[in-house]
Amino acid sequence: MATKPKTVSAESGSVLATLVNLWPYMWPDDRPDLKLRVVWATVFLVIAKLILILVPYFFKWATDALNGQFAAPDYIPALLVAPVMLVLAYNVVRIVQLGFNQLRDALFARVGQYAVRQLAHKTFVHMHELSLRFHLERRTGGLSRIIERGTKGIDAIVRFTILNTVPTILEFALTAIIFAVAYGWIYVAIIAATVVLYTWFTVKASDWRIEIRREMNESDTDANTKAIDSLLNFETVKYFGNEKMEAERFDRSMARYEEAATKTWTSLGWLNFGQGVIFGIGMAAVMALSAWEVSQGTHTLGDFVFVNAMLMQLSVPLNFIGFIYREIRQGLTDIENMFDLLDVPQEVEDRPDARQLAVDRGTVRFDDVHFAYDPARPILKGVSFEVPAGRTVAIVGPSGAGKSTVSRLLYRFYDIGSGVITIDGQDVREVTQESLRAVIGMVPQDTVLFNDTIAYNIRYGRISAGEDEVKRAAELAQIGPFIERLPGGYRSMVGERGLKLSGGEKQRVAIARTILKAPPILILDEATSALDTHTEQEIQAALDLVSKGRTTIVIAHRLSTVIGADEIIVLKDGEIAERGRHGDLLGAGGLYAAMWARQREATEAEEKLRQAREEDDLGVVVRRRTPEVETEREEG
C-alpha cells in the first residue's frame, strides 16, 4: 500500500482544506484505474450539464413551432423540426442527460468508496499503533463512532461537494452566460440577486435549525437512555415499586423531545416558506420582464417558456442547498475528528535502526528502572532484578506497588523514564515492537475473548496453526474434554467478551492460546486471583505445565501460587522491599511473612464458611428424608 501524506489541518472547517486532505485518496498514485475513473466522471459531469442546458431549448423550439414562430435553417429537413419531433427530442435529451448523470455517479462510486476504505483502514491501523495510555484515557465506543462518522463524512463530502455542489456551480455559470448573451444582463442581475439572497437565507435558517435539531437529538437520546436503563433494571424497579417514578422520568424526557421536534418541523416550514417567497419573487420578476418583451414583440412565446424552464431547472439544486449545506457541515466536522485522530502521535515508536530481537536463552533483566505514568507520581523507583533463562521469578506486593507495570514495560506498552530493560542483553527499545512481543506470552487476570468460536480464540495465539495443533493446545490446557462435550465443539461461540464461559474456562482458553504461541518468555499476570480456590488449583496445574522450561514472570496476588518460584520479589511503593525464596522470606518475618499470615487467615475463614454451608446443606437433606424413612418403618 502506498504511503499517504500527512493530513493538512482542517480546523478552519473549510471544504477546500478537507478536499486537500482527501485528494490523495481520490487521486491515488498507485491506482491509475481510479484516476481514469475520475477523468471520465468529470467528462460525463460536464456533458450532463451541457445537455441539461439544451433541454429548455427544445421546449422553446417546440413551443415556437406550435405557435408558428420557429424558423429552422434550410439545411434541416422539415420533418426534424416538426412540433411532435421537437417534443420527442425534448424528452430524449432529458433521458440522455439522466443517463450521463448516472454514469458519472457509477464511475465515481468506486473512487469514493476507495477513499472511505483507505482512510478507515489507516485510522484503524493508527489506533492500534497508539499507546496503551491513549486507549485507557479514551472510550472505545467513542473511537468507533469517530471512524463510523468519519467514513460517512467522507462519503458526504465526496457526494455533495463533488457530485452536487460542483455541477450546480457549473449550471449556474452556464445559465448566467446564456441569459447574458441571449437576453441581457438585467436577467442575469435579477437571477443572481435571487440566488444570492436564497443561499444566504438558507444558510442562516439552516444554522438556526441545526441548533434546534441538536436539541431534539439530545432529548431523543436522553429519553431512549432512560427507557433502556429502566427496562434493563426491570427487577430493581419492581423491588422498590418505582414504576410511576420511572414513567414520569421518561415522560419528562419525551416532553422535551416533543417541544424540540415541534420546533424542528415549524422551523422547516418557515425555511421552506422563506425559500419559496424569495424564489417566487425572483421568478415573478424575470417572468414579468419576459412577458413584457413578448408583448413588445422582441421575444417569442418560446422565449417566455425557455426562461420559465431554465428557472425551474435552477430551482431543483437550489431546493437542496439547505440539505447539502447541513450534510457538508456535518461531514466536515466528522472528517476533521478522524484527521485529528490520525494526527495523534505515537508515544512508543520503533527507532529507525531498530533490529529484530534475537532470543537465544530468554534471560530478562531490569536494571535501575524508573517509571511514572504521571511525573508527579512515580511508580517504579530504581527496580533491578534478573530472571535467568528457564527460571521462574514471582513479583508480589500490596495493590499499587507496581507489579502489573513490570509486565507492561516488558511488553513496551510504555517507555521507561530511565534505566534499561534487556532480553538476552538486548535493550527492548532498540528492537522492533513486533519481534519483542512475538517472544512473550501473556496469561492475564481478566481474559477477554473475541465474540467468535473457541477454536478462533485458541488459534489467536498462532493464526497459522492447524486444527490438530489447536486441539493439542486445548488438551494441554486441560480444557479439551470440556470443549468436546459442547454441542458445537470447537465451533461453539463464546459470546461477547467470552461471557458464555466461566472464569476458569476462559483462563484455560487463554492458557491454550499461549501454549499455541509457544513463547520463550511467559508472563502470568495474576492469572488465578479472580477464581475460587478449587478452580485456582486446577488452573495452577495447567500454568505449571505451560511455564515449564520457559523464562517466567509471575505477578501474583495469592501467595499460595508462588511458593515454588525460584525467587520471589516483594515490591512496596515502587521499590524492592524483600527478595528470596518462600521459606527464607517467611523466616525473615518481614512484609512477605505478614502478607502470608493475612492470606492464610482469610483462606481458613473461607474454608470454615464453606464447611458450614456444606453441613447446613447436608442437614436440610437429612430433614427432608426423615419423614420418608419413618413412613417406611410404619408400613414395614
Helices then strands, each counted (H, E), the chain: 20, 10
pLDDT value, residue 7: 43
The DSSP output letter for 414 is S
Domain match, 42 and 95 both: yes
Average the pLDDT over 404-426 and give the result. 88
Nearest to 359 by CA among 442, 441, 461, 439: 439
The pLDDT of residue 294 is above 80: yes
Cell 515502587 locates to 574
Domain match, 335 and 248 both: no
Q: Is residue 164 part of a domain?
A: yes
Higher pLDDT: 196 or 155? It is 196
Answer whether 0.85 is exceeded by the pTM: no
pLDDT band at 562; cut points 50, 70, 90: confident
Q: Please identify, among 491, 518, 545, the residue that sits at the C-terminal boundary of a domain.
A: 518
Q: In this predicted model, what pLDDT tens digit does every residue of 428-468 receive, in sequence order?
A: 899 998 888 888 888 877 777 888 888 888 888 888 888 88
Higher pLDDT: 323 or 530? It is 323
pLDDT value, residue 12: 40
Q: For residue 392, count other CB atoms closer than 10 A to its CB.
A: 22
Domain match, 250 and 194 both: yes
Domain match, 130 and 210 both: no
Average the pLDDT over 60-64 and give the result. 78
Domain match, 164 and 222 both: no
pLDDT value, residue 272: 83
Could you give the 3-state DSSP secondary structure of residue 551? strand
Number of domains forming the structure of the chain? 3
pLDDT value, residue 632: 41
Domain match, 40 and 166 both: yes
pLDDT value, residue 137: 58
Q: Please identify, among 518, 547, 574, the residue that sits at the C-terminal boundary of a domain.
A: 518
Nearest to 320 by CA among 163, 174, 103, 177: 163
Domain match, 171 and 192 both: no
Q: Is residue 196 part of a domain?
A: yes
What does the alpha-carbon distance between residue 51 and residue 64 come to, in Å, rounded to a whole number? 20
CB 257 within 8 A of CB 217: no
Q: In this predicted model, what pLDDT tens digit does every residue of 369-396 receive, in sequence order?
A: 998 887 778 888 888 999 998 888 999 8
Lowest mean pLDDT among 19-23, 118-122, 566-570: 19-23
pLDDT value, residue 9: 40
pLDDT value, residue 532: 59
What does the alpha-carbon distance between residue 209 and residue 187 come to, in Å, rounded to a whole number? 32
Q: Is residue 597 part of a domain?
A: no
CATH number for the domain including 503? 3.40.50.300
Lowest mean pLDDT among 107-116, 329-338, 366-375, 623-632: 623-632
Identity (one letter) of the amino acid at 222?
A: D
Q: In this predicted model, what pLDDT tens digit does every residue of 164-174 receive, in sequence order?
A: 777 778 878 88
Average the pLDDT over 308-336 and give the result. 75
CATH number for the domain including 110? 1.20.1560.10
Domain match, 124 and 207 both: no
The pLDDT of residue 635 is above 50: no
Q: Please identify, among 484, 518, 552, the residue that sits at the C-terminal boundary of a domain.
A: 518
What does the alpha-carbon distance between residue 339 and residue 12 come to, in Å, rounded to a whole number? 13
Domain match, 251 and 202 both: yes
Which residues lie below 8 Å from residue 37, measured CB to CB, with a gap of 6+? 107, 108, 110, 111
Q: In this predicted model, what pLDDT tens digit does every residue of 65-84 receive, in sequence order?
A: 777 666 665 556 555 566 67
The pLDDT of residue 484 is above 70: yes
Lowest mean pLDDT among 202-211, 424-433, 559-568: 202-211
Q: Is residue 73 part of a domain?
A: yes
The pLDDT of residue 534 is above 70: no
pLDDT value, residue 367: 92
Domain match, 96 and 237 both: no
Domain match, 84 and 205 both: no
Average the pLDDT over 186-198 and give the result. 88
pLDDT value, residue 75: 53
What does the alpha-carbon distance between residue 515 and residue 458 come to, in Å, rounded to a whole number? 9
Cell 436503563 locates to 229
Which residues lie below 8 Å from residue 3, measured CB to CB, with a gap of 6+? none
Higher pLDDT: 412 or 171? It is 412
pLDDT band at 366; cut points 50, 70, 90: very high
The pLDDT of residue 546 is above 80: no
Which residues lie below 8 Å from residue 21, measured CB to CB, with a gap of 6+? 7, 8, 10, 335, 339
Label residue 452 exposed, middle or buried (CB < 10 Å: 0-12, 13-18, 19+): middle
The pLDDT of residue 633 is above 60: no
What does the alpha-carbon distance between residue 441 and residue 427 come to, in Å, rounded to a whole number? 18
Q: Is residue 395 part of a domain?
A: no
Identity (one letter) of the amino acid at 172?
A: F
What does the alpha-carbon distance between residue 298 and residue 425 come to, in Å, rounded to a whole number? 96
Q: In this predicted model, what pLDDT tens digit does every residue of 130-142 receive, in sequence order?
A: 766 666 556 555 5
Residue 339's domain spans which residues? 12-183+329-346
The DSSP output letter for 448 is -
Hey, which of 321-325, 524-528, 585-589, 622-626 has the most confident mean pLDDT? 585-589
Lowest mean pLDDT among 44-58, 176-190, 523-537: 523-537
pLDDT value, residue 69: 64
pLDDT value, residue 6: 44
Q: Is residue 356 part of a domain?
A: no
Query: Which helix or strand (DSSP H or E) is residue 553 part of?
Result: strand 551-555
Give the number of residues written for the chain: 636
Q: Is residue 435 part of a domain?
A: no
Domain match, 44 and 143 both: yes
What does the alpha-carbon distance between residue 52 and residue 404 come to, in Å, rounded to a whole number? 69
Average the pLDDT over 8-23 and give the result. 59
Could you give the 3-state DSSP secondary structure of residue 577? strand
Q: Is residue 568 part of a domain?
A: no
Higher pLDDT: 622 or 303? It is 303
